[in-house]
Amino acid sequence: MKTRASTDFSDPARRIVVALDVSEQEDLVRLVKTLRGAVGMFKVGKELFCSMGPDAVKIVQDHGGEVFLDLKFHDIPNTVAGAVRSSCKLGVSMFTVHASGGMAMMKAAVEEARSCAGGPMVIGVTVLTSLSEDDLDMLGLAGPAQSAVVRLGRMAMDCGLDGLVASPQELRALRAELGKAPFLVTPGIRPLNYAADDQQRIATPKKAVVDGADFLVIGRPITRAVDPLQAVDAIAEDLVQD
């Protein structure tokens, strides 16, 4: 099990998880070759996994990168346990489950992950960063968003998860409620002067870390940059500025 004490963030770029939201192998290889060693992990999500399957994970690993498998498992406990078992065989470093899948599902995921040698971190998704307060109302989720995130986050940690995915706007509330224990993985990161795109609850990298984020999931500001490595360097430099 990965612990905070064993996690080295002395290099601020190690906090960066690059979202590989691509569908072509050529783009995948180019980004990993360019950024390996310069960032902490690479996120393989639904777009890439549905395009290339487990080969996407292997390609990242073969080129020297660690994988955060972000498929957001959400199903009956037995099915999720099987998916976790397969994820362990792939050698991923982290994977996600939806906290809204319930306690039995999350416990099954944790139990399966712990049974693997060097098992991956289990990260619970609380409320998607693309959802607004109006969206939560329409879905029948008791809001506001911060209350929903804290409620789901507390439940996830009671089930033994290693950390949570939450937007930058809920970080302080989660730290106040849950302390230092959970790793907080934060999407919706946008450097200054970068468009919000389809994200609703966003923040700059520096603000997110100050508020309690451990890992920053960043996609388009890096992957669509003219020079992705330069974009990573600029973000890392901003993180150490007073």
Domain spans of the chain?
Answer: 10-239
What are the beta bridge partners of residue 68? 43, 94
Q: Is the dihedral of CA 120, 33, 236, 47 positive or negative?
A: negative
72 as an active site residue: the answer is yes
Distance CA 231, CA 85 (A): 35
pTM of the model: 0.90
pLDDT in tens, the chain (242 residues): 555 445 677 888 899 999 998 889 999 999 999 999 999 999 999 999 999 999 999 999 999 999 999 999 999 999 999 999 999 999 999 999 999 999 999 999 999 999 998 889 999 998 887 777 788 788 877 668 888 899 999 999 999 999 999 888 899 999 999 999 999 999 878 775 554 454 444 578 888 999 999 999 999 899 999 999 999 998 998 888 76
Number of Cβ atoms within 10 Å of the Cβ of 75: 15
- Which homologous superfamily is 10-239 in? Aldolase class I (3.20.20.70)
Q: Element (H or E) spanning 38, and its range?
A: none
Q: Is 118 left (phi over 0), alpha (psi -120 to 50) or beta?
A: left
Catalytic residue among 43, 46, 58, 72: 72
